[in-house]
């Protein structure tokens, strides 16, 4: 019996029956009858309940916005670290962010010249400068807050190899160079004849920074580059 009663505990009385019961209770207690109809009281109670829920929702939203408001004015936090590259004369700058707000954009420049920014797999960023000077990096968040930091770059190799001397031994022409980084890009050194024929060095000596070509039958243009892609053009004319 009690189980049936509990299962029906959410049942509602018919408004007319409830009004008659309330009137009977007032009579039994010798109280003055209620002048406001029960359905009006019920409607007002529902109205107050709905208004209370709306106010509670609005208050919750306001409180959330209140706690999130400081985040809208948080500036980006990040660090810049100068890293020597695997190739001398080709450094890069590692950028690590420590803020929680999503990043909108990252910009880098040296003396007004934009530098590329690469996102790495580990979540860091690399800026690879191609010239010396003050590197300025600016991070802008989705909240439009931004921060700029600077780091001085002075070890980028921007000088092409320098011709020191040359000598001819039989049919071989050996040319000696001086290079700031000490590393020529031997794989990409070549010579071009007047008719456009391309030829590669016969041999090279990394320790002596020299290359050897077959002595040309015609004039040659020799292109000598280093690992930083600085290129020297040598015109070889027949004696």
Min mean pLDDT across 61-75, 110-124, 168-182, 207-221 is at 61-75
In tens, the pLDDT along 20-58 reads 666 666 666 766 555 556 565 566 566 567 677 777 888
**Could you give the CA distance from residue 175 to residue 203 in angstroms, rounded to a whole number?**
11
Instruction: State the average pLDDT over residues 105-127.
Output: 93
DSSP string, 14-48: -HHHHHHHHHHHHHHTTPPPPSS-HHHHHHHHHHH
Question: So what's the pLDDT on residue 138?
Answer: 97
| d(C-alpha 20, C-alpha 64), whole Å | 47
Pairing relationship of beta strands 133-141 and 146-153 according to DSSP bridges: antiparallel
CB distance 216 to 181 below 8 Å: no
Residue 142 half-sphere exposure toward CB, CA atoms < 13 A: 6
Q: 155 and 165 in contact (C-beta within 8 Å)? A: no
* pLDDT above 70: percentage of residues in the chain: 75
pTM: 0.62
How confident is the model at residue 122, as a pLDDT?
A: 84
**Sequence-ordered list of residues with C-beta below 8 angstroms from that of 82, at least 6 positions apart, any chain:** 91, 93, 151, 153
Q: Say how far apart CA 82 and CA 156 lie, in whole Å.
A: 12
Distances (CA, A) of 106 to 64, 112, 175, 199: 29, 15, 45, 44
Helices 15-28, 38-68: inter-axial angle, 10-degree rounding: 110
What SS3 class is residue 51?
A: helix
Instruction: Using alpha carbons, list the distances in angstroms from residue 126 to 77, 108, 119, 138, 151.
Output: 16, 10, 7, 13, 13
Tokens of 37: 């109809």
- The number of CA neighbours under 13 Å toward the Cβ of 65 is 6
Scanning the structure block, which residue is given the tokens 């009137």? Answer: 23
Element (H, E) at 67: helix 38-68
Round the average pLDDT of the chain to a whole number and report it: 83
Task: Give 109's Cβ-side CA count (13 Å radius).
Answer: 8
Residue 110 has pLDDT above 70, yes or no: yes
């Amino acid at each position: 019996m009690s189980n049936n009663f509990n299962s029906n505990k959410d049942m509602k009385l018919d408004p007319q029956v409830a009004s008659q019961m309330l009137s009977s209770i007032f009579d039994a207690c010798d109280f003055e009858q209620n002048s406001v109809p029960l359905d009006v009281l019920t409607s007002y109670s529902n109205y107050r309940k709905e208004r209370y829920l709306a106010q509670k929702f609005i208050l919750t939203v306001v409180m959330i916005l209140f706690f999130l408001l400081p985040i809208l004015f948080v500036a980006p936090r990040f660090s810049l670290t100068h890293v020597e590259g695997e190739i001398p004369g080709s450094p890069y700058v590692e950028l690590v962010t420590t803020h929680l707000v999503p990043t909108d954009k990252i910009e880098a420049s040296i003396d007004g010249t934009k530098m590329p920014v690469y996102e790495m797999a580990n979540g860091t960023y690399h800026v690879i400068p191609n010239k010396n000077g003050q590197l300025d990096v600016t991070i802008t968040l989705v909240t439009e807050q931004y921060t700029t930091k600077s780091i001085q770059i002075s070890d980028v190799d921007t000088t092409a190899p320098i011709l020191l001397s040359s000598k001819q031994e039989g049919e071989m022409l050996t040319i000696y160079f001086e290079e700031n980084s000490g590393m020529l890009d031997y794989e990409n050194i070549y010579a071009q004849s007047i008719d456009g024929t391309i030829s590669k060095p016969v041999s090279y000596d990394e320790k002596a920074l020299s290359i050897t070509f077959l002595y040309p039958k015609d004039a040659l243009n020799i292109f000598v580059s280093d690992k930083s892609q600085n290129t020297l053009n040598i015109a070889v004319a027949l004696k």
